[in-house]
Amino acid sequence: MIELFSADTPNGKKISIMLEEISYEYKLTKIDISSGEQFKPEFIKISPFSKIPVIKDHDVNETVFESGAILIYLAEKSKKFYDKEDRLKINQWLMAQIGYIGPMIGQHHQFHHYNPGKSNFGEERYFKITKKIYQDLDDRLANSKYLAGKKYSIADIATWPWIARHEWHDIGLKKYKNLSRWYLDIANREAVIKGYDFFKKGLVIPKP
């Protein structure tokens, strides 16, 4: 059984969606990041940078931190969403999400959603970068059904939860027809619907 240590964030949703997609039984252990639970010594033992998510594979007594590494681990374990013939492209788009898309949109959340009015420079900078990310993804998806090619992969699973917060971004997802098509295609998957609401709070995936 897999134990998922997580909070209800885009990075957390990546893993709950993946676990639902591969139909693995998992136990959710909530980490209250608003109260600093991620800084407790017992959590730092499994997550050196005090970040969620983390998984523990109780079948082999193995823990894995960092969302990208977790996705690769689960993909290799299940042999799903990480086809060998597409692996180079999958890795590139996965790394783009981990190193660029997530961090930049995350900063947009901080300045635009959580702390508006505190830094015009920060708000303008990360709004522009997030808008460019939307356009870059739209351009890619004009020529490809999914990010890494014809098949749904862990690159899509990693990226989708960040676009699912499009209401926070105030950019207008529906203006980007290819990105919207991809977003809705994934949003309609049963596993994504379940994984999105993995805290069972009745959350509904926002439409474009």
β-bridge partners, 57: 2, 62
Question: Which of helix, strand or coil describes residue 55?
Answer: strand
User: CATH 1.20.1050.10: which residues of the chain?
Assistant: 84-189
- To which H or E segment does residue 64 belong? strand 62-65
pLDDT under 50: residue ranges of the chain: none
Out of 1.20.1050.10, 1.10.600.10, 3.90.1150.10, 1.10.132.50, the CATH code matching 84-189 is 1.20.1050.10
The label of the residue with tokens 């492209």 reads 89
Q: What is the DSSP letter of 65?
A: E
DSSP β-ladder status, 54-57 and 2-6: antiparallel
CATH of domain 2-80: 3.40.30.10
Q: Which of 57, 72, 64 is nearest to 18 (CA)?
A: 72
Note the pTM of the prediction, 2 decimals. Answer: 0.96
Q: What is the DSSP letter of 116?
A: T
pLDDT in tens, 6-64: 999 999 999 999 999 999 999 999 999 999 999 999 999 999 999 999 999 999 999 99
